[in-house]
Structure 1
């Protein structure tokens, strides 16, 4: 279609593993002549026939990637480290060549793949604006016309004549993005630009990208591990894993699938016979289970999700006063809370317990649960350590702050502002 600005078909990229040279000068010269001068395939490295085929000499960074981007669309590309995101952007930006497949593009492309592209540490911020802008495709006249806007956007006016080697990482990235943000490409490619920066910087970046996409009709490819920012900015998504497309389409659907695939949850353990179960001569656990309350079964666990912990254990003593403590820990070992059941007199048999952690209470992160069974509320009968584990992903609305939310808990409490006076006089 005429509005397709990027078309990727059967794109694959393979890298050679191991030593670079052959070990023989004559063969190294033959390789240089064949690959550099004649632009033919390396005679000493045979490209695997199939991207799915494993090889000790080859690493497939991308495997048979197919997608189309239309004018004015904003695509978020997500995935774990090493998934192939940066490789894909470098191929689209024509920095590296694909091993197989083709990329068709229409329009001027500008890329911000590394913070400070074209910056020289010994030059001042003022000089680097001209240097980086020229490298990114702007003319000297264009840079001069937009110089004041770039400086104002960066927020480093006071340090403009200071060598950038003395800048903090935050100042460096602000100036680098300010230059790239004032280009006028048809396609803007951005890789992890929000990895460094404070709240004000993130707000400016997202606002600027949203402005050029929606008001000026430009196309954006945006790579980030900051999923709330990706969902806020992008309309379409592409999830890469080990160089392959796992999902593409609507950004909310793609992010949900990625989160579900990335979560590590130990949600249930059970034992048929007491002899096989964890415990001792007094207590043995029959079952522990974590039940999330989800509107859709395929949805990921996030901070809104209520979680019910259910458990059963065999009690081998009559007339015993038993209580159970459910203790929640973060994965760095910090105790988030410890809640105790009502102490109950129990006979020999199976004892069941249940506790619900409400939604909108915990912060995002990874957690594990330990259950402590006590006699007379003081004497330990058995400690079932790290019996359940789960991860909660972030979820935000009504904010443009996408950094880590402080605190172990994140409750929704009644909190509102009211206009009490209309004038200061």
Structure 2
């Protein structure tokens, strides 16, 4: 008997994207007129090429994807935003149908794709545990046997009889993951929703997924955190533009992905002087993103300077400016949220240049490649515009605080600590 639990053959998924027209809304008469026009075109040209509708565009989220998953595999799926990862998981979870191709799945599937997946907002936490178990095909006795373990893992004992619509996003995720992982599915599918939880909970979830895999069940895991993915998964799939770019051992696929990110960002770095990213919803944009690494001869290191222009199309008060640096493996080196740093533009009406500077950056970070994320926000309320991993900066190797030794790559850790070493003889 074959041990293949998921077989994907030539899987493709097409979406139709609507482009905004001059009208602010579409009336019933417009729908009827467009339908009559389309019917007329098909009658006049039944076999001819139809004229393209400029208001709509085809977008292939996945294109001819094929792979197999064996029982007990722990597979990490990686790729940039928009690569097709979430679409693939939704098709495997039977949430959406493929346009072409087919999938064969053997076994019970539990999915956690976004906050509150499969939960009914009006039901309590207790009721949702039983509801999810029933959806997975478990009997009431089986769910009751696992109930206490689920509640203990989720840490929501006090709120079991509260409707989940009143849960925070963290409580939602804790309970949803606990249900998905403990009700013994043969296949567990987890998207990067775990980023909502705190660090302790994320570690707890990764440990549980590893346990699930070691029990012979199958795990599909999407994450931008390469370190977590490499520690949990044995195999990896790298998606790019809706197609499989690389498939193989998790460490090798992750290394190839990081190399691709660096190469792409280095090409994009050259064009960021003309880059303009704009939020249509919030009427605010970021342009002219640049970074500079200048030698600091006095301290024998390098100074980092990051600058960009904020361009508003309306008047704003209290716009927060945030920045973070991460290793290519997805580990955060520093996060500077404006509600903590108080980097806030009090009044924003004209184009304003923002500048971040750090003297002798190598005092704080090991040499290597780091991605830069920028964002504008109403602090603690909402993002106005977020540009993830918009630049890659390569910090040169540095001498480790006058020791004559060079801290070359952050593969050995992000922070070069100036530790000293000595021994003491213990007297009897």
CA separation of 1:248 and 1:362: change in aligned 2, threshold 3 A: closer
1:155 maps to 155
1:303 maps to none
2:393 maps to 390
1:410 maps to 415
2:112 maps to 112
1:231-380 correspondence runs (5 A): 231-263=230-262, 264-265=265-266, 326-329=302-305, 332=323, 333-338=355-360, 360=366, 364-366=370-372
**In structure 1, C-alpha distance between the alignment counterparts of 2:294 and 2:420, rounded to whole Å:** 30
2:57 maps to 57
Number of aligned residues: 303
- Would you say the 8 A contact 1:362–1:411 is kept in 2? no
CA separation of 1:149 and 1:98: change in aligned 2, threshold 3 A: same
**In structure 2, C-alpha distance between the alignment counterparts of 1:73 and 1:394, rounded to whole Å:** 30
Cα distance, 1:151 vs. partner?
A: 0.4
SS at match of 1:211: helix
CA separation of 1:268 and 1:179: change in aligned 2, threshold 3 A: closer
Cα distance, 1:80 vs. partner?
A: 1.3
**In structure 1, C-alpha distance between the alignment counterparts of 2:34 and 2:232, rounded to whole Å:** 53
Unaligned runs of at least 5 residues, structure 2:
20-25, 40-45, 271-291, 308-322, 324-354, 374-390, 396-408, 424-428
1:175-214 correspondence runs (5 A): 175-214=175-214
- Would you say the 8 A contact 1:265–1:391 is kept in 2? no
**In structure 2, C-alpha distance between the alignment counterparts of 1:242 and 1:164, rounded to whole Å:** 36
SS at match of 1:239: strand
**In structure 2, C-alpha distance between the alignment counterparts of 1:323 and 1:360, rounded to whole Å:** 16
1:24 maps to 32
**In structure 1, C-alpha distance between the alignment counterparts of 2:205 and 2:299, rounded to whole Å:** 53
CA separation of 1:156 and 1:362: change in aligned 2, threshold 3 A: farther
**In structure 1, C-alpha distance between the alignment counterparts of 2:394 and 2:173, rounded to whole Å:** 31
- Would you say the 8 A contact 2:83–2:242 is kept in 1? yes
Unaligned runs of at least 5 residues, structure 1:
32-42, 48-54, 270-289, 291-307, 312-321, 340-355, 368-387, 398-408, 419-425
SS at match of 1:94: coil
Q: 4+ residue stretches of structure 1 with deviation over 6 A?
A: 19-22, 266-269, 308-311, 322-325, 356-359
**In structure 1, C-alpha distance between the alignment counterparts of 2:412 and 2:228, rounded to whole Å:** 10
Which structure dedicates a bigger proportion of its chain to helix? 2
SS at match of 1:209: helix
C-alpha deviations, 1:41-64, integer Å up to 9, x for none?
xx99x99xxxxxxx9631111011
C-alpha deviations, 1:299-336, integer Å up to 9, x for none?
xxxxxxxxx9899xxxxxxxxxx999842135644322
SS at match of 1:69: strand
Q: How large is the RMSD of aligned CA atoms in angstroms?
A: 4.3
**In structure 2, C-alpha distance between the alignment counterparts of 1:60 and 1:209, rounded to whole Å:** 31
Cα distance, 1:155 vs. partner?
A: 1.0
SS at match of 2:107: coil
C-alpha deviations, 1:250-292, integer Å up to 9, x for none?
11111111112222237999xxxxxxxxxxxxxxxxxxxx9xx
- Would you say the 8 A contact 2:370–2:393 is kept in 1? no
**In structure 2, C-alpha distance between the alignment counterparts of 1:178 and 1:145, rounded to whole Å:** 14
C-alpha deviations, 1:212-246, integer Å up to 9, x for none?
101x1111111112222111111111111110111
Say which one has the larger Rg: 1
- Would you say the 8 A contact 2:65–2:243 is kept in 1? yes
- Would you say the 8 A contact 1:177–1:193 is kept in 2? no
1:87 maps to 87
- After TM superposition, the score normalised by the length of structure 2 is 0.60
